[in-house]
Every structure is written in structure tokens, then in C-alpha cells.
């Protein structure tokens, strides 16, 4: 790990390229997640329309039941996302410490 940090500190162009690739990767992941959310929303709207067309009198009860299920799964997804953010923060702190240690090593 120290060799990588030393290499990146000695070659800033490699660090810039690595950062650009990481940003592109993050961009495409979020772009894919946004598409997935939009498609899921459209499917939910279509299902609601189908249930309303099939049985308009029972629709409010079915909608409440479906909303409850989505809410339960959504809470789990939010908790998983929070855990991932915390892990990312910890990783960023470790990388920051490694970079600082690498700078101290190269300064000596």
C-alpha cells in the first residue's frame, strides 16, 4: 500500500487519471440506480392502475397493503445505505491517514 501511495505522490498525472476513472464509475452507478428507480416507479404506477381497473371498491385497501410492504422494504434499504455510507467514511479516513503517512515518509 505504501508503494502505491509513493507512486501516486511521485506521479500526479496517474492520480488524476485514477480519480477521473473513479468519478466516472460513480457517475455510471448512480445513473443506473436512477434508471432503476424510474422503472420501478412506472411499474408501481401501472400496478396501481391495474388494481384500480380490476376492483375499484377494493383499491384503497390494496393500496394501503402495498404501501405498507414498500415502506417496510424501504426502511431496510435506507438502513443498508446508511451502513454503506459509514463504511465509506471509515475507508476515506483510512485512506487519508495513509496519504498523510505517505507524505511524512517521503518528506523524511
Residue 48 CA to residue 53 CA, distance in Å, equals: 9
Q: What is the DSSP string of 81-92?
A: HHHHHHHHHHHH
Q: What is the pLDDT at residue 107?
A: 67
The predicted-structure confidence for 4-63, as pLDDT tens digits, reads as follows: 888 878 888 888 888 899 999 999 988 989 999 999 999 988 987 887 777 777 767 767
Q: pLDDT band for 73, please (50, 70, 90 cuts).
A: confident
| pTM: predicted TM-score of the whole model, two decimal places | 0.40
Q: What is the pLDDT at residue 62?
A: 67
Amino acid at each position: 500500500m505504501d508503494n502505491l501511495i509513493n507512486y501516486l505522490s511521485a506521479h500526479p498525472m496517474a492520480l488524476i487519471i485514477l480519480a477521473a476513472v473513479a468519478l466516472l464509475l460513480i457517475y455510471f452507478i448512480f445513473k443506473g440506480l436512477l434508471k432503476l428507480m424510474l422503472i420501478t416507479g412506472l411499474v408501481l404506477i401501472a400496478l396501481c392502475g391495474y388494481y384500480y381497473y380490476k376492483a375499484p371498491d377494493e383499491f384503497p385497501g390494496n393500496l394501503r397493503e402495498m404501501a405498507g410492504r414498500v415502506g417496510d422494504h424501504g426502511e431496510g434499504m435506507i438502513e443498508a445505505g446508511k451502513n454503506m455510507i459509514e463504511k465509506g467514511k471509515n475507508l476515506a479516513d483510512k485512506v487519508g491517514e495513509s496519504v498523510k503517512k505517505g507524505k511524512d515518509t517521503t518528506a523524511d
